[in-house]
């Protein structure tokens, strides 16, 4: 049963610290999305990649956030320095495009708390 995996599942850190979140997309999927979910804003798209190339990162605060895909099996989202307002659940999702049904498969998320 293919799944998107994310690590860590939970992270508590202090303001100013660097946070790195990792995602392993479903094998064979060529598109990876990073979302942030908060009560106030809902699900926001931060960035996404196709065939490891960044296609859109306009939803991401550029000064502190960075997203990369070092290889087809790993996507990373980094926050440096972290701030309390970054506290949220960060989801990675993957998909295979183009195809008729454009399903996004979400990982379990990283629950981040910045103190």
Partner 1 sequence: GQQVMQIPQYQHVQEGEDFTTYCNSSTTLSNIQWYKQRPGGHPVFLIQLVKSGEVKKQKRLTFQFGEAKKNSSLHITATQTTDVGTYFCAGKYSGAGSYQLTFGKGTKLSVIP
Q: How far is the CB of 39 from partner 1 (least distance, A)?
A: 10
Q: Please tell me the total number of residues recorded for the chain in this structure.
A: 115
Q: Is 104 in the site for partner 1 (CB under 8 A)?
A: yes
Query: How do strand 88-95 and strand 31-38 relate by DSSP bridges?
Result: antiparallel
Q: How far is the CB of 84 from partner 1 (least distance, A)?
A: 22
Beta carbons within 10 angstroms of residue 48's beta carbon? 22
Would you say 88 and 35 are in contact if contact means Cβ atoms under 8 Å apart? no
**3-state DSSP assignment of residue 18:** coil
Q: Is 101 in the site for partner 1 (CB under 8 A)?
A: yes
Q: Find the part of the chain contacting partner 1 (CB under 8 A) among 13-21, 42-50, 67-75, 76-84.
A: 42-50
Residues that bind partner 1 (CB under 8 A): 31, 35, 42-43, 45, 48, 50, 55-56, 91, 93, 95, 97-98, 101-109
């Amino acid at each position: 049963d293919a799944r998107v995996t994310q690590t860590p599942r939970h992270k508590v850190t202090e303001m100013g610290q660097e946070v790195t979140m990792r995602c392993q997309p479903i094998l064979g999927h060529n598109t990876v999305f990073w979302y942030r979910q908060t009560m106030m804003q809902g699900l926001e798209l931060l960035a996404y990649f196709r065939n490891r190339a960044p296609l859109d990162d306009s939803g991401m605060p550029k000064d502190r956030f960075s997203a990369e895909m070092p290889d087809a099996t790993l996507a990373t989202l980094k926050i440096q320095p972290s701030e309390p307002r970054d506290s949220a659940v960060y989801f990675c999702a993957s998909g295979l495009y183009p195809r008729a049904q454009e399903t996004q498969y979400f990982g379990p998320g990283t629950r981040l708390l910045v103190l």
